[in-house]
Amino acid sequence: MLVHGDALLLVVAALLLDAVIGDPDWLWRRAPHPVVWIGNGIGRLERRLNPESWSRRQRKLAGVITVIVLVSFAMLVGGVLADLLNDNWIGFAIEALIASTLIAQRSLYQHVARVRRAFTEGGLPAARQAVAMIVGRDPERLDEAGVARAAIESTAENFSDGIVAPVFWLALLGLPGLIAYKAINTADSMIGHRSTLYIDFGWAAARLDDLVNLIPARLSGLLVAIVAPIVRGSIVASLRIMMRDASRHRSPNAGWPESAMAGALGIAIAGPRVYAEGAVNDPYLNAEGRAAALDDIGRALRVFVTACVLQAAIYAALALLL
């Protein structure tokens, strides 16, 4: 399926619904979120196809089969829903509402803003608890700069894989593409680890996640750089740092939006950090930048919101032209 006006209108409608409604707690306390359904399916496949008694080669093959089954089923569900809902404006509205549940603009903003508010209301201990909800590193090892840096990195990375990437695949392949993307991304977060249990079984999920985020990650960095002036940053400096430092990140994709954000804010992010499984001694992105501070979380959120608005405006313009 090629990008066309109807798909782009669906993108714009889903973005607007997500911005206004987000993920209401009252709803998801009563019904499982679609990502929960996806996660439950992955869990069932993992329990059946990743026994410790199997060889590494068997586990890797089982992981490939798991990803094929997962993506095929996601595409099938998305295709059935799209066919059922494409006849009238009510169906279009329902399809847009379904799509909006798989985009994370409002929820990401709320989670990161909660870290900033916790700093103000409860100091560093409260901020550590809040940031632990969005990053995997050990919060007790974080000082004020570390908490701010973690929140900003999460904002940049999740702008890519929680917003730009799902929207990209929605525009390109419609609802089947969006659901398949979320299935791949969820699989990567659940089994795409380097632990003994998942290094082989999760190999296919991790590699496919890298592939489907390849273009969106670079688009994310570009959007962040373009809106840098909203925080008195430089577009040129942000682009320069992104092009220079993105490859220094351990992920082939996360470095693009993160280094662009570092350049836009004039701060150093990434670098050495401690996770539950151990320490990571990564280089800094924009190493010449200053240390992150509490105020930089608010600045990162302004960049994030403006980049989201720019993305929606681009898709709206394309919808009018195509």
State residue 195's pLDDT score.
86
Is the pLDDT score of 4 beyond 70?
A: no
Is the pLDDT score of 5 beyond 70?
A: no
State residue 8's pLDDT score.
94
* Mean confidence (pLDDT) of the chain: 92
Is the pLDDT score of 322 beyond 90?
A: no
Better-scored residue on pLDDT, 88 or 50: 50
Domain contains 232: no
Domain contains 41: yes
Is the pLDDT score of 64 beyond 50?
A: yes
The span from the CA of 293 to the CA of 154, in Å, is: 15
Mean pLDDT of 108-117: 95
Domain contains 245: no
Instruction: Give me the torsion for CA of 297, 299, 302, 304, rounded to 10°.
Output: -60
Domain contains 51: yes
Tens-digit pLDDT profile for residues 187-209 = 999 999 888 889 999 999 999 99
Domain contains 246: no
Better-scored residue on pLDDT, 19 or 3: 19
Domain contains 26: yes
Is the pLDDT score of 95 beyond 60?
A: yes
State residue 275's pLDDT score.
67
Better-scored residue on pLDDT, 120 or 241: 241
Domain contains 252: no
Please, which contacts does 35-44 make with residues 24 or more away whose CB atoms are closer than 8 Å?
35/102, 35/182, 35/186, 38/70, 38/74, 38/182, 38/183, 38/186, 39/186, 39/190, 41/70, 41/73, 42/66, 42/70, 42/183, 42/186, 42/187, 42/190, 42/191, 43/190
Tens-digit pLDDT profile for residues 42-52 = 999 999 999 98
Mean pLDDT of 65-91: 93
When pLDDT is cut at 50, 70 and 90, the band that residue 1 belongs to is very low
Tens-digit pLDDT profile for residues 152-184 = 999 999 999 999 999 999 999 999 999 999 999
Query: Domain total for the chain?
Result: 1
Tens-digit pLDDT profile for residues 237-249 = 999 999 999 999 9
Element housing 278 (H / E) = strand 278-285
State residue 279's pLDDT score.
66
**Domain range holding 148?**
5-214+311-321
Domain contains 32: yes
- The model's pTM is 0.94
State residue 22's pLDDT score.
87
State residue 86's pLDDT score.
79
Tens-digit pLDDT profile for residues 292-319 = 999 999 999 999 999 999 999 999 999 9
Is the pLDDT score of 285 beyond 70?
A: yes
Is the pLDDT score of 278 beyond 70?
A: no
Is the pLDDT score of 2 beyond 60?
A: no
State residue 24's pLDDT score.
79
